[in-house]
Amino acid sequence: MRIGACAIAAAVLLWHLPAAAGDPASAREQLKIGYLLAQDNKCDEALPHLLESLRLDPKAITLINLADCEEKVGKLSDAMSHWVDARARAQSEGLRPIEEEATARATALEPRLARLTIVLAPSAPKDAVVERDGVVLGAPSMGIPLPLDPGAHTIVVKVKGRDDATTRLALVEGEAKRVELEAGPLAAGTAPPPPPVGEPTTKAPMSPLVFIGFGVAAAGVAAGSVTGVMALGAGSDAKSACPDLRCTDAGALDDVGTGRTLGTVSTISFIVAGAGAAVGVYGLLFAKPSATKPAPSVGVSVTPASVALRGSF
């Protein structure tokens, strides 16, 4: 197999290279152990040694052995990343055979990768955090078909004050899937969030009784005040025309009668004003508004002998 022959030749070359930064000697030993395990089809056991070799002294030969093992155990996205890294490092190390091998293997692996596109529903809060298999995905990752290993995956949407929304799915080699995620429900005991800043809150309309009651009260006070003043004027005229309460002039007698009538009307008007105020207070505190009725209006008309309230309710 081409990868095996290439790995052996490069491994032999690596063991004879001069020491560099890091720990090349330990890296060579880890690479040798990992390579021998991989040849016995024990890639799960080989991977820790190959990763340790890469950490101690990154080399193209280590990368292609690592990528080959990852591909065999189904870690296709990791393998793709390491094939690409191996190609770049082989170029810098001047190892043309490894560069060609890494390029060919990456090209063959590309269509086998599963891809998952994650989007948040429009109703999801802006502070929602998406975790895929424990890794937080930022906003730029939303809506992008990102490569994944085949198999089971778990996606969690986290929002402060809400229960986590968990989605589990499985992908096969070469599959492309798209999921739209919602935020979880409000956590128990959590109040609904306030409306966004800048959006006006809707105030409930007041009951018509408020307008009617206070309108009647205002009209009653106005009528009572006007008729009271008129009653005082008529009384003053009668007093001037009837000294010692003796009236012989018919006009003076009319002034007396008018004054009494206006006084009565004034008293009734103030009583009506009090009742109107009570209705207004009741409407303000207890009555529910009606959306179908037009806005009420109240008016008052006063004559020397009467007072009248008029309006539409």
pLDDT tens digit string along 93-149? 999 999 999 999 999 999 999 999 999 999 999 999 999 999 999 999 999 999 999
Check whether 79 has a pLDDT greater than 60. yes
Per-residue pLDDT, 225: 75
For β-strands 129-132 and 297-303, DSSP reports them as unpaired
Residues contacting residue 43 through CB under 8 Å, at least 6 positions apart: 37, 69, 70, 72, 73
Over residues 292-308, mean pLDDT? 53
Quote the pLDDT of residue 60: 96
CATH superfamily label, 2-111: Tetratricopeptide repeat domain (1.25.40.10)
Question: pTM score, two decimals?
Answer: 0.54
Mean pLDDT of 221-232: 71
Domain boundaries, the chain: 2-111, 114-181, 208-312
Domains 2-111 and 114-181 share a fold: no
- 236-270 burial code (b ≥16 CB/10 A, e <16): ebbeebbeeeebeeeebeebbebbebbbebbeebb
What's the mean pLDDT in 69-83? 96
Of 160, 101, 153, nearest to 125 by C-alpha is 160
The fold adopted by the segment(s) 114-181 is: Immunoglobulin-like (2.60.40)
Q: What is the pLDDT of residues 20-68, one digit of tens each?
A: 457 999 999 999 999 999 999 999 999 999 999 999 999 999 999 999 9
For residue 112, give the nearest of 72, 172, 178 by alpha carbon: 172
Strand partners, 178: 117
CA gap 49, 55 in Å, rounded = 10
Confidence (pLDDT) at 70: 97
Q: Could you report the per-residue pLDDT of 250-290, keeping only the tens digit for each? A: 555 566 666 677 667 768 877 877 776 776 677 677 666 55
* Higher pLDDT pick, 125 / 246: 125
pLDDT value for 189: 72
Express each pLDDT in 144-169 by its tens digit.
999 999 999 999 999 999 999 999 99
Whether the pLDDT of residue 85 is over 90: the answer is yes
pLDDT at residue 291 tops 70: no
